[in-house]
């Protein structure tokens, strides 16, 4: 197996075309997640994913990786640094884990691996993200990783008649342990 970044319980490797046909299609069409992540506003077909995949692998400003559970070699989620800006030294971080694998410390470990890579190898200075105000798991994870609240996009996210805030958080290289 190609390993890009190795950890204890998880490792990160490139997303392969074969990954698209398996659980990934289910994750991004999961409407129960949609209220917090906005993934499933439109249905995603395999053809959509394949064209997204082709654009992603050509995009040199994005580091898009599959999270692999080492115990059974299963692809359990994706993680990325996107909009990598090497002049200003910043990038956006995103993560999505299979529901059955949440709450086991795997998101934290995968995040540490990609943040380490971003700060130590890509020489980034600031990594940022946006998160729904009610996404308790994600807010807890980001706080544990050391992200600080930098601002609020007020009433930025709409679902079923309600507008919710998106919290913008950032982590500077000197704050990352
Ligand atoms: C957000 C997400 C990546 C967290 O990953 P995870 O592997 O479940 O989180 P971990 O088990 O590594 O937990 C790390 C920390 O996050 C917090 N956390 C995790 N799940 C939580 C929950 N349900 N409620 C509150 N805090 C939670 C805790 O602080 C935890 O640390 P602790 O175990 O020492 O208390 C995962 O839940 C996910 O993929 N959710 C769906 C997609 C999503 O919302 N992505 C983020 C969009 S902004």
Which residue has the least CA distance to atom 1 on ligand 1?
A: 138
Question: Is 140 inside any structural domain?
Answer: no
pLDDT of residue 70: 97
Task: Give the mean pLDDT of the chain.
Answer: 95
Contact 164, 132 (CB under 8 A): yes
Number of domains in the chain: 1
Residues 25-53 have pLDDT tens digits of 999 998 887 788 888 889 999 999 999 99
Contact 26, 44 (CB under 8 A): no
Question: Is 163 inside any structural domain?
Answer: no
48: left (phi over 0), alpha (psi -120 to 50) or beta: alpha
Question: Nearest CA to 142 among 156, 152, 128?
Answer: 128
Range of the domain at 58: 5-128
Which residues surround ligand 1 with Cβ inside 6 Å?
A: 33, 36-37, 95-97, 102-108, 131, 135-138, 140-141, 144
Q: CATH number, domain at 105?
A: 3.40.630.30
Residue 84 pLDDT more than 80?
A: yes
Question: Is 161 inside any structural domain?
Answer: no
Residues 108-121 have pLDDT tens digits of 999 999 999 999 99
pLDDT of residue 7: 98
Substitution site in 141, 144, 156, 171 for ligand 1 pocket (most atoms within 8 Å of beta carbon) = 141
pLDDT of residue 31: 86
Cα separation, 123 vs 126, whole angstroms: 9
Q: What is the pTM of this model?
A: 0.96
């Amino acid at each position: 197996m190609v390993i890009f970044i190795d950890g204890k319980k998880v490792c990160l490797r490139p997303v392969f075309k074969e990954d698209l046909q398996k659980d990934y299609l289910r994750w991004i069409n999961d409407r129960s997640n949609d209220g917090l992540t906005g993934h499933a506003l439109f249905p995603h077909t395999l053809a959509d994913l394949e064209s997204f995949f082709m654009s992603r692998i050509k995009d040199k400003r994005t580091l898009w990786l599959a999270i692999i559970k080492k115990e059974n070699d299963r692809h359990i989620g994706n993680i990325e640094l996107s909009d990598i800006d090497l002049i200003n030294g910043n990038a956006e971080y995103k993560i999505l884990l299979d529901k059955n694998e949440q709450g086991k410390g795997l998101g934290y470990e995968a995040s540490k691996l990609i943040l380490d890579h971003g700060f130590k190898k890509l020489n980034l200075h600031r990594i940022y993200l946006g998160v729904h105000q009610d996404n308790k798991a994600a807010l807890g994870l980001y706080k544990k990783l050391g992200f600080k609240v930098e601002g609020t996009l007020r009433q930025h996210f709409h679902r079923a008649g309600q507008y919710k805030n998106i919290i913008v958080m950032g982590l500077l290289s000197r704050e990352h342990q």
